[in-house]
Amino acid sequence: MNRPETELDQQLADLLRDAVADVEPADRLADVRARIPERSTRRWAAITGGSALAVAATVTAIALASQPSAPDTDGNIANEPEPTPDMSAVPAYFVGQTPTGERLYREFQQVPDAVTGLAGLGLLESGPADPDYSSLWPDGSFEDQLSDPEAGVVHVYLTDEAPAEPSDLALQQVVYTVGAGFQEPLDVAFHRGGSVLATVERAPQLDTLSLVSLSDPSEGQQVSGTLDVNGVANSYEANVLWRLVAGGEEIDGGYFTAEGYMGEKLFPFAGDIDVSSLAPGTYTLIVETSDGSGGTEGPGAYSDSRSFVIE
Amino acid sequence: MHSHATAAPAPIAVNDEPATWDADTALEQLYALHWRSLVRLAVLVVRDQAQAEEIAQDAFIALHARWRRLRDPDKALAYLRQTVVNRSRSALRHRAVVHRHVQATGSAGPVDLPGSDETAVASERRARVLTALQALPDRQREVMALRYYAGLSEAEIADALGISRGAVKSHASRGAAALRATLTDYLEDRS
Q: Which of B51, B123, B133, B148 should be substituted to probe chain A, the one whose Cβ sees the most A Cβ atoms within 10 Å?
A: B148
Q: Contacts of residue B111 in chain A, CB cutoff 8 Å?
A: none
- The parent domain of residue A303 ranges over 37-55+211-310
For B:133-152, CB contacts with A below 8 A are 133, 144-145, 147-149, 151-152
Please give the residue that has the higher pLDDT: either A60 or B51: B51
Please give the residue that has the higher pLDDT: either A262 or B190: A262
d(CA A178, CA A116): 10
Residue A256 pLDDT > 50? yes
CA A187 to chain CA centroid, Å, is 24
Q: Where are the beta strands (DSSP E) in chain A?
A: 87-98, 101-112, 153-158, 187-192, 195-200, 212-216, 221-223, 226-233, 239-246, 249-257, 267-274, 281-289, 303-310
| pLDDT over 70 percentage in chain B | 75
- Look at residue A115 in the predicted model and tell me its pLDDT: 65
Question: Does A271 lie in the same domain as A246?
Answer: yes
Question: Does A159 lie in the same domain as A98?
Answer: yes
Please give the residue that has the higher pLDDT: either A260 or B20: A260
Residue B113 pLDDT > 70? no
Least-confidence region, from A21-35, A214-228, B113-127, B158-172: B113-127
Residue A62 pLDDT > 80? no
pLDDT in tens, B151-164: 999 999 988 888 88
**Tell me, what CATH number does A239's domain have?**
2.60.40.10
Question: Does A186 lie in the same domain as A148?
Answer: yes
pLDDT in tens, A181-193: 888 889 999 998 8
Q: Which residue among B6, B44, B172 places its CB closest to the CB of A19?
A: B44
**CATH architecture group of domain B115-191:** Orthogonal Bundle (1.10)
Residue A1 in domain: no
Residue A31 in domain: no
d(CA A37, CA A235): 11
Question: Does A216 lie in the same domain as A180?
Answer: no
CB contact under 8 A, B60 and A32: yes
CB A247 within 8 A of CB A55: no
Question: Does A193 lie in the same domain as A236?
Answer: no
Residue A242 pLDDT > 90? yes
For B:35-94, CB contacts with A below 8 A are 35-36, 39-41, 43-44, 49, 52-53, 56-57, 60-61, 64-66, 68-69
pLDDT in tens, B163-174: 888 999 999 999
Residue A54 pLDDT > 50? no
Question: Does A267 lie in the same domain as A182?
Answer: no
Question: Does A190 lie in the same domain as A299?
Answer: no
Among candidate residues A119, A60, A70, A67, the one with its CA nearest the CA of residue A90: A119
Q: Which of A164, A183, A206 is the last residue before a domain boundary?
A: A206
How confident is residue B72, by pLDDT bands cut at 50, 70 and 90? confident
Please give the residue that has the higher pLDDT: either B111 or A49: B111
Question: Does A189 lie in the same domain as A132?
Answer: yes
Q: Which of A163, A189, A206 is the last residue before a domain boundary?
A: A206
Residue A76 in domain: no
- Burial category of A71 from C-beta neighbours within 10 Å (exposed 0-12, middle 13-18, buried 19 and up): exposed
Helix, strand and coil content of chain B, in percent to the nearest 5, comes to: 75, 0, 25
Shortest Cα distance, chain A CAs vs residue B117, angstroms: 16
> Helical H runs in chain A?
7-19, 29-35, 41-49, 51-66, 119-126, 168-182, 205-208
Question: Does A92 lie in the same domain as A202?
Answer: yes
pLDDT in tens, A206-238: 999 999 999 999 988 999 889 999 999 999 888
- Look at residue B160 in the predicted model and tell me its pLDDT: 84
Q: Which of A176, A206, A236 is the last residue before a domain boundary?
A: A206
| pLDDT over 90 percentage in chain B | 41
Domain ranges in chain B? 13-108, 115-191
Specify the number of domains making up chain A. 2
As a whole number of Å, the end-to-end CA separation of chain B is 23
Residue A124 in domain: yes
- Look at residue A166 in the predicted model and tell me its pLDDT: 93
Residue A262 in domain: yes
Question: Does A245 lie in the same domain as A150?
Answer: no
Question: Does A174 lie in the same domain as A256?
Answer: no
Helix or strand run (H / E) with residue A292: none
Neighbours of A294 (CB within 10 A): 12
CB A274 within 8 A of CB A23: no
CB contact under 8 A, A15 and B129: yes
CB contact under 8 A, B65 and A22: no
Question: Does A178 lie in the same domain as A224?
Answer: no
